[in-house]
Amino acid sequence: MFEKLEKLQLIWLAVILALGLVIAVKTGTGNMSKDKITVTGSAYKIVKSDSARLEFEINARKPNKQLAFNTVKSQLPVVMKYLEDKGITEIDVKASNGYNTYKYTPNGNMTNEIAYYNLSQQVVIKSDDVQKIKDISTDIQNLLDKGIDINVMNAQYFYSGLSDLKVKLLEDATTDAKDRATAMLKATHNKPGKIQSVNMGVFQITPVDSTNVSDMGINDTSTIDKKVTAVANVVFRIK
């Protein structure tokens, strides 16, 4: 009976040891799968815009549509001459837009009687000389002295090399992530190994002195000089 009990104990001991070995193997494999480090790297470059766009409107408010149209028609050649004198050759005159403004009764109710007609003539200019566009954006208001009602929108500035720059910045951001991982692992006498995965963040194109960021990315067109920033979240195997 004691022999049977001894054998039974040995069997249970073997089962327990086997289970322990399985658990140990699984635990070890799990740790290996987590033997990695995730680091965020970034890189940026300051660029200067190489093209610009400016939009403005010639406005007229007259008793009727015909008078408003004739007013803008007579003023448009003056504006065109101004732009040509400034060296602007790429000029796009859009279709005009207008609407009626109606009179109101003394108690504030709108009537069907037209007070005046509003007409806007949109003009868009472009140039590779960004400084020229910037100067015009403020100087064109002087046409008011000639009786021309000008409404100027903000100038927009663009950088044509953005696509190639993005590729280079993503490379630099990944390198920065590796440098950060190396510094973080130095105290543990480990090093970053092969890249397991890379998640590229959105680009932030901002004014040079801006610290703004957005989850959707920023694409600033209001400044000539821009800061283009790339971010990369990189997972390295630890070796």
CATH architecture of 51-157: 2-Layer Sandwich (3.30)
Q: What are the structural domain ranges in the chain?
A: 34-48+161-238, 51-157
In angstroms, the CA 95 to CA 119 distance is: 11
pLDDT of residue 33: 34
Asked if 124 contacts 94 with a C-beta cutoff of 8 angstroms, the reply is yes
Is there a shared CATH topology between the 34-48+161-238 domain and the 51-157 domain? no
pLDDT of residue 63: 95
CATH for 34-48+161-238 is: 3.30.110.170
pLDDT of residue 34: 65
List the one residue out of 115, 111, 74, 119 whose CA is nearest residue 94. 119
The tokens describing 233, both together, are 């979240």
67-115 tens-digit pLDDT? 999 999 999 999 999 999 999 999 999 999 999 999 999 999 999 999 9
In angstroms, the CA 181 to CA 37 distance is: 7
* Segments in the chain below pLDDT 50: 1-33
Strand 90-93 with 97-104, pairing: unpaired
pLDDT of residue 61: 96
Mean pLDDT across the chain: 87
In angstroms, the CA 31 to CA 18 distance is: 20
